[in-house]
Chain A
Amino acid sequence: GDSVTQMEGPVTLSEEAFLTINCTYTATGYPSLFWYVQYPGEGLQLLLKATKADDKGSNKGFEATYRKETTSFHLEKGSVQVSDSAVYFCALTRLDRGSTLGRLYFGRGTQLTVWP
């Protein structure tokens, strides 16, 4: 079945360091891929998305490229800030016929802590 595998955390970085959080997926059909962020005490917020191969999603300095050949959607940011400390979830949903687009399959989440 459809699934998402994320690198395990926690990830601890100093401010301005480079961030990579790996995400790979298994899916039939043509999935859309997402990164969601969860700040302490809050719900999940959509960070970025990509709906087809080679698409790059970007938002707030974060980027991820939909790589069909490696079934990956790694999250990157060139210079993290303390305010980026949160849990990051990779997720997918399928576009093919008969699938409810909103049914998201999540990875386990990666806790990111950024120190000043």
Chain B
Amino acid sequence: AAGVIQSPRHLIKEKRETATLKCYPIPRHDTVYWYQQGPGQDPQFLISFYEKMQSDKGSIPDRFSAQQFSDYHSELNMSSLELGDSALYFCASSLDRGNSPLHFGNGTRLTVT
């Protein structure tokens, strides 16, 4: 069965650079979520989209932005990267704003040097 696809799997950037993470949800899933998991930390909710509109916002820095496109894939754009942004970024998708279980991708590991 198709799963949530995230790209790239690994990304290394320098401070003050920009990064773009991509997420391709399971076909027919209309809701996408982004989570950030720092080293040894629990995943923290960043932002979610339902039918291409932002549906909820968590602890996402102003330097980050995200959107969901017409094909339902989503991109997380991160600017002015800081060392503290180094983390595992998960995308998850679901049907109907989470009324069905969330399916997570394998994550993108971002390292900022």
Residues in chain A within 8 A of chain B (CB atoms): 4, 36, 41-46, 49, 89, 93, 100-109
Across the interface, B56 reaches (CB within 8 A) one of A4, A36, A46, A103, namely A103
B9-53 Cβ-contact flags toward A at 8 Å (1 or 0): 000000000000000000000010101000011111100100000
Give the number of residue pairs across the A-B interface with Cβ within 8 Å.
Answer: 59
* Residues in A whose Cβ lies below 8 Å from that of B48: 100, 102-103
B81-103 Cβ-contact flags toward A at 8 Å (1 or 0): 00000000010101001110111
Task: Check if B106 is an interface residue, CB within 8 A of chain A.
Answer: yes
Check A104 against B107 for contact (C-beta < 8 Å). Answer: no
B: contact size bracket? 20 to 34
Across the interface, B107 reaches (CB within 8 A) one of A43, A93, A101, namely A43
